[in-house]
Structure 1
């Protein structure tokens, strides 16, 4: 009996030691409309929010009342925060221009960073972020809502196992009615429609989804060419930026058409993969359809109704914590990865340049 008790005690102690301490996380910025994802996150043992950086004290107080965090953990700047606490990681929820400044402050101290999509406002800023991440050996992840969709994961898996033959065309559509029409907060709207703080309008806000997914699908291929056109269909709402774009990517054997827009009548994030034998339609987070060709225009169709991704992939912050503590190793060129998002930023920068100059950009 004593031996059994001793063995159980040893197993219990080993289990305790195997559990990683909670990730000490700071939230940098509160102006992003997605910040509620972390502020409303249920209390888990993997993350402990130890600080918030937000110079707009009125906004901080408003969200403090809404979500229940203490104003005692709110700091005016990254420098002030770092002088008072030592976090393991920072999640950036300010404007996209601030991403570089967050990494500049965190990287030398070995603090890991996760930003909301896209990685940066320009490819040059993205290169600076990567140089800092490589030099100081930190993780820099980019969070995309579409990386949580089990339908996207299954669509890519089905394509890679040959269900639709060789890939020929991908069509990805993302967007909504526009920031003004869907009623985003004033703090969010102010920088979302600023070309310097956001990098562009719909072309960056939603074009990044398609570029990111296409890089994931192709396992890190760069397109040969990038061609883009933009329009401004809501001048009264978005006077400084585009609100509609079409981006065409060509590869050796396939092409992609990305359609980011702030003019869709119904919000959407969907993807279509066309191969030599059939097509896969990732309609939304839960529904996927597989069509296989029969003759000229006939086909069979199978519909899959899926749930959310399994832990930790159903929660970006759980993914972040697991990557940092080493319990999760992400596949190369996955949606979160820095190597994927460097290509994503190259595509976005090329698309912006193409639309501005009216020319196709040659990459390879």
Structure 2
């Protein structure tokens, strides 16, 4: 097994084991690999559903892709260097497969009837192969698809999904078998083409939603930032243009904010390209109604803030944005992911399933720097 894939599998397997301990304290330890294998293969065979079981992981582990069409064999594994730098954009529609309904004469008349709960749906889910996908089974499915065919359904056993994890908020129960519906590979990129892609997203959003044409010669757009100091197989410095877009809403006064200044900020953060009648689906963070503003010590970059052991830090795009503003100013900024949370999302220590901001999300912030009180 490839180094990247093998390391990710070991991490997921160990994390899943720890997460499952709470269930094991209450019940006898169950061999979920054998149980899920028997459950799924009996179900698929009994219902004459054609499937392809992946073998990329070895040891009998695998997901079930239906129907058996458009499959690469051997699978398109990560490259053998152990430093797979591909970035994969897919659709994401994860649902709960309710095993308890198997054999229920009133319900078990159609495979769709057993897929009972949509717990995560995103028209665009992008992940870095080196970091891994939302779960190992999802990543396993992706590397076994040819990028053209769209399987109707991928059945992901619990041991390759979320194991002993449960969340009543999204309808995920312990040791659930999960399905990925109509999984489509939309694009395969590298860090440079991903940055160019998000550049175009920012330009399009600025024109369509902000009513401005981007000045591509503006320094906020063209300035570069260090994204990672040792990237890829050769551990090279990765530096990318920021591609930050700004629209001034309310002019400020006085000097432009500089590194070393301290400012009080009100803000609202939104996802780019998300439309919903429910504001909570669009706005991921805001302090507009909070009792107090956010107090920010301004640095040249997030690297400088980190090197200075700053007790409170913001994303790199914020430092770049704030250093173009004046006190009393309100402006809207479009921040590509490499100036925000890039390939880890907003919490590198947790699964993508539970992140508010998943990897490679272009973000929009409306920021107000409060004026000094007279």
Determine if the TM-score, normalized by the shorter chain, exceeds 0.5. no
TM class by shorter-chain length?
A: under 0.3
Q: Which has the higher contact order (CA 8 A, sep 6+)?
A: 1
Which has a greater percent of helix? 1
Task: Please tell me whether Structure 1 or Structure 2 has the larger radius of gyration of its CA atoms.
Answer: 2
